[in-house]
Structure 1
Amino acid sequence: MTVWLRGDHLLRHRGPLSRRPDEPLLLVEAESFARKLPYHPHKLTLVFAAMREFRDAVRESGRTVHYRRAETFADGLAAHLDEHPDDDLVTTEPQTDAARERLRSLVADAGGTVQFVPDERFLCSPDRFDAWASGGRYRHEDFYRFMRRETGYLMDGGDPVGGEWNYDDRNRETPPGEWTPADPPTFDHGETVTETAEWVAETFAGGYDGPPYGGDWADPEPFRWPVTRRQAVRALDHFVTYRLADFGPYQDAMRGEAWAMSHSLLSTSLNLGLLGPEEVIERAIGAYETGDAPLNSVEGFVRQVLGWREFLRHVYRREMPELAGANQLDAQEALPEFYWTGDTDMACLSDVVDGVRKRGYSHHIERLMLLANFGLVYGVEPERLNRWFHAAYVDAFHWVTTPNVVEMGLYGAGVFATKPYAASANYVDKMSDYCSGCPYYKTKTTGEGACPFNALYWEFLDRNEDELRSNHRMGLMYSHVDNKGEEEWAGIRERADEIRTMAREGEL
């Protein structure tokens, strides 16, 4: 029997590799994966370099590693099974039933068999989630409290530590002008990362034939992400020591000169399996217990890992494949080109897209309330924006982006989002410093120079009134809709049409 680990399941001290210490390891590095989308080069460098570093570390421990570099996974499996006929493979469960059957067929076609074992990158098993969800509609807050009780994290007997389940009211502050976040961690990457980055640049530049910009749309800075277990642990140490205390109050804030703010930057390591959710949660809770981080910061971080990450994984598992193509608001617009180029006069979107082009990263509020919010009110077809997120971000996998973008960002399915997260320039101005340096006027809705978010926001509510007015969470918004006269609505619709024309022509 051989343990087969896929490139985002690099678990060495847990999972099937640790439970079968005498069996060899198979890794298949398939180039075809990297040609499916115009991936950010840092995403490709991250995955391929992490696989190669993992291979070397396991070999150094004395274990046999079969490392196959092939055009497709099917080719790599066929090459392995040609050399090891009738081998039985064991691998972790993929996220959906369809993916499991696809992997089973690939192995069977190559002449082998495969068995699946639980994915230990997560804390909540499918059976446990399914039992919880059997009562009806998904509700994240209920699931999060369920997981707190199940794990005992931040619990005092049957009650939450501190007496409250969440501290959102303390975690929406804007930092004072003199506040400066700790610098993000850096790593002394060796030859493997250097060689992999060069290989990625040579092999995949222009290697994607779809619209609009091939494989050359990004403008990458030097690669900065952890690719080994040791580096990931250092990243965790850095976050808990220097950034966690300020994470909570400023987690929703945006500053042009501080791309990372006090966010953890641990999503790549969690999603590859270099870190486990339990260890990052327990390190954060430990900081609270020793007085090194306040409860609101620690609870906010635990909510992201124990609640949101686990919740989305299972929503994806249960709602695919319908979720990927969901479009309940019938949005049909193409993705504006500035998502790829950053070429827009809107200061917020220009800066955030520029950061994505450089680093393959922006934090969660920039993703939800700038990039997805614009797509929502503009009317981008959800599948198109999801494809961009999947290609653009270093921490993106389909199970991550699909529920976050299609459902949470664009209100595409209505399976757990209770309202669309639409906002005008007022929100952007409240939570960021972008508006003060933007040529568009945050206080204007119509006419030349009016911020595009404003007219698009009101036109979105008008356009989707049949779908949204009955939503009890939209009552206040529609009371403002009712207060606008026909002349004002004519100006709003005219400005929204102008904005779409400008966006389509690359002049926004």
Structure 2
Amino acid sequence: MTVWVLGDQLNLEAAPLQHDDHVLMIEAHGFGERMAYHPQKLALVFAAMRHFRDELRARGFDVTYLTAETFAEGLDQFYDAAPGTDLVTMNQPSHGAGERLRELVESRGGSLTLVENDLFLTTPAEFDAWAGDSDTYRQEHWYRHVRRKTGILMDGDEPAGGEWNYDDQNRETPPDDWTPPEAPRFTPDETTQEVIEFVRERYLDAWGSVDDFVWPVTRDDARQALDHFVETRLTEFGPYQDAMVDGEWALSHSLLSAAINLGLLTPHEVVDAVEDAYWDGDAPLNSVEGFVRQVVGWREFMRHVYRRSMPELAEANQLDQTESLPAAYWTGETDMRCLSEAVGHVYDHGYAHHIERLMVLSNFALVYGVDPQEVNRWFHIGFVDAYHWVTTPNVVGMGSFATDVLSSKPYASSGNYVNKMSDYCSSCPYAVSKTTGENACPFNALYWDFLKENEELLRGTGRMGLMYSHVDRKDDEEWDAIRSRAAEIRRMGEEGTL
């Protein structure tokens, strides 16, 4: 039996590696041309795979490492040299991926055993037992269930500190004189630099810059990144986790999601490290709970909702949105300070934090009316931590409200939210206080137009009553001005003059 280690399973403690020291790895290059994937994403995956190969060999594993255009071609090479070999791999979280790999192997005369993916905190069986036959899911209920079951941040039968949720302490904006801690940087070694040059030369259509590559690509680097977060960034992570600051792409965020999704870190160890900091008195509870919620709550929850809701989730569009992404999502050229900053962060780093993702990038696409699948593709292309199982529930389900499978209301807002949580509006040529008129914030007219356009579905939806009471106060003249401004914004978005 040979263990097929895939590019998102780079963990020495993975179950299959405990039973066999023969390993197959295939670095397939062709997928990087199916979409204009961010070059840092491509470099991260290939560099991490090569370093893991070297680590395995240093530990005595017999590693067959193949480069090919596709998995199919790589398997042809492998089975030409080792006909009939039986393979085992952990099942991938992306829909149908495991079965597609099994078909490729069996068509070449081998067999592929798919085993439980142990790079998550919870199993499909555990979620299915909790969810039963339901086809709608709420994260808060799942989050509390997992904490009770695992004992994470629990004081006996009660949540640590007496509350499950400390969001009310985690919505602050930093003072003007605050400077975030410097983000960790991992200088590319020779192996990584070779990969970066390969990506730069091979993927000429890739969207984004590979010049400032600082991501951890080894287990040791990932552990250093975790230690840096706990020791340097965790304390201020909580209160400022929803904030956006001009010129700052990382703030106090952990920047660990890419390493976790590759397997370089496990959710167990990052949660343990953060929880230990609380119990040892080294980090405040609101910061620790906020981070634990992201991993124990959202990451696990999204994986299972995706699994149970596919393939319908990928095609969902309950609002019948059909617009194309504004040109600014590709160029970053827009007078909208918030959108320019968020797109710029993705272009330069392959990363933007969760509020930029949800309340700027997704929110603007939502009120603009963009096709959810087009938004999903953009996120899948642009982020170093993006996989289909990650982006689809977050973007299609949560950000685009294309289905109510995991949210009872859309995460739509006017420019007021951005103004509250950032310092962008003060330096933006658009006036956040205006809904209509030449320099009115584009968010505002689009937001009210969105509510009016989708009134039949949204009125009466959970927590939307207050917004529709404001809708009811607007007269025909105001609605005409709003619709005119919204149409103008969409024309500007299409023309690249936003």
Which amino acid in structure 1 is aligned with residue 65 of structure 2?
Answer: Y
CA separation of 1:261 and 1:97: change in aligned 2, threshold 3 A: closer
Name the CA shift for 1:190/1:472 in 2 (closer, same or farther; >3 Å).
closer
Q: Who is 1:474 aligned against?
A: 464
Structure 2 equivalent of residue 119 of structure 1: 117
Do the aligned partners of residues 8 and 96 (structure 1) sit closer, same or farther apart at CA in structure 2, a change above 3 Å counting? closer
State how 1:459-470 maps to structure 2 within 5 Å: 459-470=449-460
Matches within 5 A, 1:169-208: 169-206=168-205
Partner of residue 21 from structure 2, selected from 20, 23, 32: 23
**Partner Cα distance (2:254, 2:377) in 1:** 25
Q: Would you say the 8 A contact 1:74–1:110 is kept in 2?
A: no
Deviation at 1:23, TM superposition (A): 2.8
Ranges in structure 2 where 5+ consecutive residues have no aligned partner = none
| Equivalent residue number for residue 387 of structure 1 | 377
Say yes or no: does 1:488 pair with 2:469: no
Given candidates 68, 73, 94, the residue that maps to 1:70 is 68
Correspondent of 1:95 among 93, 99, 107: 93
The Cα of 1:218 is off from its aligned counterpart by: 1.8
AA partner of residue 35 (structure 2) = L
Tell me, in whole angstroms, the C-alpha distance in 1 between the residues paired with 2:97 and 2:52.
24
Name the structure 2 match of 1:106.
104
Contact kept? 1:43, 1:394, Cα under 8 Å = yes
The 8 Å contact of residues 325 and 370 in structure 2, kept in 1 or not, is answered as: yes
Q: Which amino acid aligns with 2:123?
A: S
1:106, distance to aligned residue in structure 2 (A)? 0.6
- Asked if residue 317 in structure 1 is aligned to residue 307 in structure 2, the reply is yes
Report the counterpart of residue 12 of structure 1 in structure 2. Answer: 12
1:295 maps to amino acid: L
The normalised TM-score by structure 2 is: 0.98
List structure 1 segments (4+ residues) > 3 angstroms apart after TM superposition: none
2:364 counterpart residue number: 374
Q: What's the CA shift for 1:135? A: 5.6
Per-residue deviation, 1:101: 1.8
Instruction: Please list, as runs of the form range in 1=range in 2, the aligned pairs for 1:328-477 lying within 5 A after superposition.
Output: 328-477=318-467
Q: Given that residues 240 and 284 in structure 1 are in contact (C-alpha distance below 8 angstroms), is that contact kept between their aligned partners in structure 2?
A: yes
Deviation at 1:343, TM superposition (A): 0.8
Q: CA deviation at 1:257?
A: 2.0
* 8 Å contact kept, 1:336–1:503: yes
- How many residues matched? 497
Cα separation, partners in 2 of 1:422 and 1:97, compared to 1, 3 Å = closer
- Kindly state the Cα deviation for residue 441 of structure 1 after the two structures are TM-superposed: 0.6
Amino acid at match of 1:191: E
Is 1:266 paired with 2:277? no
**Deviation per CA, 1:192-214, whole angstroms, max 9, x where unpaired?**
110000000111113xxxxxxxx
- Tell me the CA shift for residue 99 of structure 1: 2.1
Q: Is 1:498 matched with 2:488?
A: yes
Take 1:472 and 1:417, find their aligned partners in 2: how far apart are those partners? 9
User: Which amino acid counterpart does residue 204 of structure 2 have in structure 1?
Assistant: A
Give the letter aligned to residue 375 of structure 1. A
Q: CA deviation at 1:496?
A: 0.3
Choose which of 35, 44, 47 in structure 2 pairs with 1:46: 44
Structure 2 SS opposite 1:250: coil
Cα distance between partner residues in 2 of 1:58 and 1:236: 22
Matches of residues 233-248 of structure 1 in structure 2 within 5 Å?
A: 233-248=223-238
Q: 2:9·2:263 contact (CA, 8 Å) conserved in 1?
A: yes
- The equivalent of 2:84 in structure 1 is 86
Give the deviation of 1:379 after TM superposition. 0.2
User: What is the identity, as a one-letter code, of the residue corresponding to 1:374?
Assistant: F
Q: Distance in 2 between matches of 1:70 and 1:16?
A: 24
Q: Quote the residue 1:166 is aligned against.
A: 165
Mean Cα deviation higher: 79-88 or 135-144: 135-144
| 1:161 maps to amino acid | A
Q: Which residue matches 1:139?
A: 138
CA contact (8 A) 2:235 2:283 kept: yes
Q: For residues 194 and 95 of structure 2, what CA distance do their matches in structure 1 show?
A: 36
1:276 aligns with 2:266: yes
Deviation at 1:281, TM superposition (A): 0.4
- Which whole-Å deviations, capped at 9, do the CAs of 1:114-159 have from their partners, x for residues lacking one? 0011111101100000000106331100000010011111111111
After superposition, the C-alpha distances for 1:88-108 in whole angstroms (9 at most, x for unaligned) are 100001225622221110111
User: Structure 1, residues 320-357: CA drift from partner, whole Å, max 9, x if none?
Assistant: 11111100000000111110110111011011111111
Q: Could you give the per-residue CA deviations for residues 9-40 of structure 1, whole angstroms, max 9, x where no partner exists?
A: 111123211x21x4311101111111111011
Partner-residue secondary structure (3-state), 1:193: helix
**Partner amino acid, structure 2, of 1:15:** A
% identity of equivalent residues: 60
Deviation string 1:70-90 (CA, Å, 9 cap, x unpaired) is: 111011112111111111100
Alignment partner, residue 2 of structure 2: 2
Q: SS of the residue aligned with 2:96?
A: helix
Query: Structure 2: which amino acid aligns with 1:156?
Result: D
CA contact (8 A) 1:122 1:310 kept: yes
Q: Does 1:58 align with 2:56?
A: yes
The answer as to whether partners of 1:327 and 1:382 remain within 8 angstroms in 2 is: yes
Q: Is the 8 A contact 1:89 1:115 kept in 2?
A: yes
Contact 2:94–2:387 under 8 Å retained in 1:
no
CA–CA distance in structure 1, aligned partners of residues 452 and 99 of structure 2: 44
Is 2:127 the counterpart of 1:129? yes
Give the Cα separation in 2 of the matches to 1:96 and 1:220: 26
Give yes or no for contact 2:2–2:88 (8 Å, CA) kept in 1. Answer: yes
Q: Is there any run of 5+ residues in structure 1 with no aligned partner, and where?
A: 207-214
TM superposition shift of 1:472: 3.1
Deviations 1:45-79 (A, max 9, x none): 00000000000111111210000101110111121
Task: Tell me the residue number matched to 1:211.
Answer: none
Give SS of 1:372's match. helix
Give RMSD over aligned pairs: 1.0
Deviations 1:140-199 (A, max 9, x none): 000000100111111111111110011011111111112211100011321011000000
Match of 1:256 in 2: 246
Structure-1-length-normalised TM-score: 0.97
- Secondary structure of 2:45's aligned partner: helix
After superposition, the C-alpha distances for 1:372-430 in whole angstroms (9 at most, x for unaligned) are 00000000000000000000001101100000000100001110111001011111000
Task: Tell me whether 362-371 or 59-68 shows the greater mean CA deviation.
Answer: 59-68
| SS of structure 1 residue aligned to 2:238 | helix
Q: Which amino acid aligns with 2:178?
A: W
